[in-house]
Amino acid sequence: MPKTMSVLTARCGRIRPDSVKEYVATGGFEAFRKALAMEPMEIINEVMDAKLLGRGGASYPAGKKWKQLYEIPTFPKYIVCNADEGEPGTFKDKVLLEKDPLLVIEGMLIAGYVFDSHDGYIYIRGEYREIQRIFQAAIANAESAGFLGDNICGTDFSFRVHIVSGAGAYICGENSGLLNSIEAKTGRPRVKPPHLAEVGLFSMPTLVNNVESFAGIPVILSMGGKQFLELGSENSGGTKLICLSGNVNNRGTYEIPMHGVTLRDIIYDPELGGGIPGGKELKFYHLGGQSGPIGFPHQLDTVYSHDALKKVGLSVGSGAVVVLDESVCIIDYLKKVADFFIHESCGKCVPCREGNRQIRLILQKFSDGVATMQDFERLERLSLTMAMASSCGLGQSATTALDSCLIHAREEFIAHINGVCPVCFNSRKNGDTYAY
């Protein structure tokens, strides 16, 4: 089994992104034509057979989500694609949006047919201005070719895709916060239940999936759900787009099968990361974005799959893999993570708003060499409080990286208490300012 594959990315870089003619010539919209000859539940069953887990970070089974929405009798229903991609270290959706937007559109179109929905919305992060123009051109060309708009392909089915631009708020990457933003409300997460399948966009039943998830739908219908499952593990089918960045030789986006590829392969295999620059040693790696866990060298032989990673306290998340070498101080890195969450917290609930600030203050004490073991214990208590009492996923997961380090890098915290961390204190004695 090769370490990399081209399944979702088969057309990327090989066709003009907004060209319907070139897309159709390479098999585009064949899955949608196939869907038109199928009953909605047949399509949903294929998605369930594929065991496609949501690719936005939460890893919720897509087939289960589709079935739940299908069984709700209320109409109209809306299709929403989450293309906010605000998770640091994550840029895999950018590849699909920029190089094969019609695949994403086809996935949304199939969903529209399944749920008899006539309007789809794609929420694209504001920083992707050029991509928004590419995607708008792809929509216009699909409408001209009869694959969007009224009476698609000579049927009585009509469907349109609308682009909504994000405004740079990380919190709008959360699905309910995203829906509020589309409705021109403050982008804050909603209290659940009711769930979005019941009360979503404009208070109507709504399907929200990630870019990569929608891109997988035409592939599943083309090859069949069971064959798609074979590309992955027993409980998670298909391939996964990963984003490699940080202290690694071959940074970029890669598509890998969801079985047989280990974290060591991702970082060191010549097909993928290609190792650490300058022959330095790996110190740790951050998986799935700022809200994901941190992994360490002793976990490198774990297979990159949802089940295998979960067993060792790690997760796939958004697909980000940020690699850090021996020159990086874990405390300084965690301070940057805390800075990020302080900036992105909506401030609505006390545990998140104040908890992140207190964590940042305590971490600074470790950097200054004045922390005590009581501060270590305070970090543990604060982390638990935030996870249990924050209103939404941002606050609940803001300390995930910290938790990993409290367990696996305890010695570095102790070193800072004793004032002997070579990365921090030696550089500061020389008057240097650390930045990763």
Q: Among 88-97, 271-280, 345-354, which stretch is predicted with the lowest mean pLDDT? A: 345-354
- What are the distances in angstroms from CA 195 to CA 65, 76, 191, 199, 213? 11, 16, 9, 6, 19
CATH number for the segment(s) 239-325: 3.10.20.600
**What pTM did the predictor assign?**
0.94
Q: How far is C-alpha 377 from the chain's CA centre?
A: 31
pLDDT band at 427 (very low <50, low <70, confident <90, very high): very low
Task: Report the pLDDT value the prediction gives residue 322, as an integer from 0 to 100.
Answer: 98
Which residues sit opposite 256 in a β-bridge?
240
Tokens of 40: 């909605």
Which residues sit opposite 123 in a β-bridge?
82, 164
Fold for domain 330-429? de novo design (two linked rop proteins) (1.20.1440)
pLDDT greater than 80 at residue 429: no
pLDDT greater than 60 at residue 431: no
The beta strands (E) that lie in 43-151 are given as: 78-83, 119-124
Count of other CB atoms within 10 angstroms of residue 282: 22
Taking the C-alpha atoms of residue 275 and residue 205, their distance in angstroms, rounded to an integer, is: 46
Taking the C-alpha atoms of residue 117 and residue 122, their distance in angstroms, rounded to an integer, is: 14
pLDDT band at 422 (very low <50, low <70, confident <90, very high): low
| pLDDT tens-place string over residues 165-190 | 998 889 899 999 999 999 999 988 89
Taking the C-alpha atoms of residue 308 and residue 429, their distance in angstroms, rounded to an integer, is: 43
Spatial neighbors of 321 by CB under 8 A, at least 6 apart, are 89, 242, 243, 244, 245, 263, 266, 267, 273, 285, 286, 287
Note whether 275 and 325 are within 8 A (CB): no
| pLDDT tens-place string over residues 224-254 | 999 999 999 989 999 999 999 999 999 999 9
Note whether 417 and 373 are within 8 A (CB): yes
Note whether 84 and 123 are within 8 A (CB): yes
Q: How far is C-alpha 356 from the chain's CA centre?
A: 22
Q: What single-letter amino acid sits at 47?
A: V
CATH topology identical between 239-325 and 330-429: no
| pLDDT tens-place string over residues 79-128 | 999 999 999 999 999 999 999 999 999 999 999 999 999 999 999 999 99
- What are the distances in angstroms from CA 140 to CA 20, 102, 108? 10, 11, 15
pLDDT band at 358 (very low <50, low <70, confident <90, very high): very high
Rg (the chain; Cα; Å): 22
* Concatenated DSSP letters of 48-71: HHHT-B-TTTT--BHHHHHHHHHT
Count of other CB atoms within 10 angstroms of residue 214: 30
Domain locations in the chain? 20-230, 239-325, 330-429
Taking the C-alpha atoms of residue 290 and residue 187, their distance in angstroms, rounded to an integer, is: 19
* Concatenated DSSP letters of 14-46: TS-TT-HHHHHHTTTTHHHHHHHTS-HHHHHHH
Backbone region of residue 278 per phi and psi (left: phi > 0; alpha: psi in -120 to 50; beta: other values): left
Count of other CB atoms within 10 angstroms of residue 383: 18
CATH architecture of the region 20-230: 3-Layer(aba) Sandwich (3.40)
Task: Report the pLDDT value the prediction gives residue 192, as an integer from 0 to 100.
Answer: 85
